[in-house]
Amino acid sequence: MNTKFQNDINEGLSKALKSLPSKYFYDKTGDDLFVKIMNLPEYYLTKAEFDIFKNQTKNIIAALDINPNVYFELIELGAGDGTKTKELLKVLISENFNFDYIPIDISNNALKQLETNLNTEIPNLNVTKKQGDYFNVLDGLKTSNHPKVVLFLGSNIGNMEDEKAKRFISKLSSSLNPNDKVVLGVDLIKSKDIVLPAYNDKAGITKAFNFNLLNRINKELDANFNIDQFSHQPEYTETEGIARSYIVSNTDQEVHIGALNKTFQFKKGEKIHTEISRKYNDEILNSILENSSLRIVTKLLDTKSYFADYILIK
């Protein structure tokens, strides 16, 4: 059997500069570790965006400029546990806006939990969940002609290289109609002493999250990565605003992957690139938006100016 996972791992480890896709962090163990990451003192991103959703809800709604008499769809890409979104949903419901909430997530489990939670906490809210990879799910959005507001929060776009982010934004833009809006949450470029600890916490949760990839390969592809022979290494270049996570080989070693029937060599100090976490500013975002029909209308910042939610219009 040749799975996508198997092919992606083979491809990534066969390159001159080894890499593994960060989307494979998120199995059950990875989901649980990410929840822990969001609660870490060093991981400021989630707290900063929550601050915006909690304290500037009215500003978000004003910037969205929604006609209160017209039904709209509030679509969230990569909904997760909905903690931030609930702040917005509660106010929209209490102000009698006419809308359905459509969370889209790769994890059916996460969606079911979110739905149950919303049904108790906001009983008047209509929830229509959709399971899928949000890149692929975008096409399905075109079938409805209702006005749309799309939420893409948490700096999830930061996991895409710039070229991929451009393709994603173009695809998103072409699945919308004129005057539809996007709320795009991004982490902002800031100094190394704030960014690096967020990816290198004292408790070692981010390391476990990164290494979960190797554990998955060991378990699912019958491999023999010796976790103790590798290190977790995040790097950040402030001038470009890019954080990258690596797994570094501590020695010259070989790893056998049974499912591939193949052995991979690692040199001492050789790196496997596992994740990009891009940070933004207006200029970088504008270059990503350039060839799409989305434009920035408003930028909302948290009290520390660590994070931004940009309101975009088509």
- CB-based closest residue to ligand AVJ: 277
Any contact of residue 206 with ligand AVJ (CB under 6 A)? Answer: yes
Instruction: Please identify which residue in 87, 275, 302, 309 interacts with ligand AVJ, judged by CB under 6 A.
Output: 275
When the beta carbons of 122 and 212 are compared against ligand AVJ, the nearer one is 212
> Which of residues 199, 246, 266, 306 is near ligand AVJ by CB under 6 A?
199
- Nearest approach, Cβ of 10 to ligand AVJ (angstroms)? 23
Is residue 45 involved in binding ligand AVJ (CB under 6 A)? yes
Size of the site for ligand AVJ (CB under 6 A): 12
CA contacts within 13 A on the Cβ side of 180: 24
Q: Nearer to ligand AVJ by C-beta: 13 or 186?
A: 186
In sequence order, which residues have a C-beta less than 8 Å from that of residue 310 and are 6 or more positions away?
183, 184, 185, 186, 285, 296, 298, 299, 300
Residue among 85, 173, 277, 298 that touches ligand AVJ (CB under 6 A): 277
**Separation CA 61–CA 289 (nearest Å):** 22
Phi and psi angles of residue 231, each rounded to the nearest 5 degrees, phi first? -120, 155
At residue 230, what are phi and psi to the nearest 5 degrees? -135, 155
**In the window 50-79, what residues touch ligand AVJ (CB under 6 A)?**
none
138 near ligand AVJ, judged by CB under 6 A: no
Smallest distance from the beta carbon of 14 to ligand AVJ, in angstroms?
24
Spatial contact of 280 and 188, defined as CB atoms under 8 Å apart = yes
The Cα–Cα gap between 72 and 148 comes to 6
Choose one: 4-12, 13-21, 125-133, 150-158; the region binding ligand AVJ (CB under 6 A).
Answer: 150-158
Stretch that binds ligand AVJ, among 111-119, 154-162, 217-225, 255-263 (CB under 6 A): 154-162
Q: How many CB atoms sit inside 10 A of residue 92's CB?
A: 23
Could you say which of 37, 64, 195, 313 contacts ligand AVJ (CB under 6 A)? 37
Does 156 contact ligand AVJ by CB under 6 A? Answer: yes
CA–CA distance, 93 with 50 (Å, rounded to integer)? 19
Specify the DSSP class assigned to residue 159: G
Give min distance, CB of 155 to ligand AVJ, in A: 4
212 contributes a contact to ligand AVJ by CB under 6 A = no
Structural contact between residues 73 and 99, judged by C-beta atoms closer than 8 angstroms: yes
Report the residue from 82, 103, 158, 241 that binds ligand AVJ according to the rule CB under 6 A: 158
Query: Any residues with CB less than 8 A from the CB of 244 and at least 6 apart, and which?
Result: 234, 235, 236, 273, 275, 276, 277
Q: Is 185 in the site for ligand AVJ (CB under 6 A)?
A: no
Contact between 64 and 75 under an 8 Å Cβ cutoff? The reply is no
Burial class (CB in 10 A: 0-12, 13-18, 19+), 29: middle
Binding interface with ligand AVJ (CB under 6 A):
37, 45, 154-156, 158-159, 199, 206, 209, 275, 277
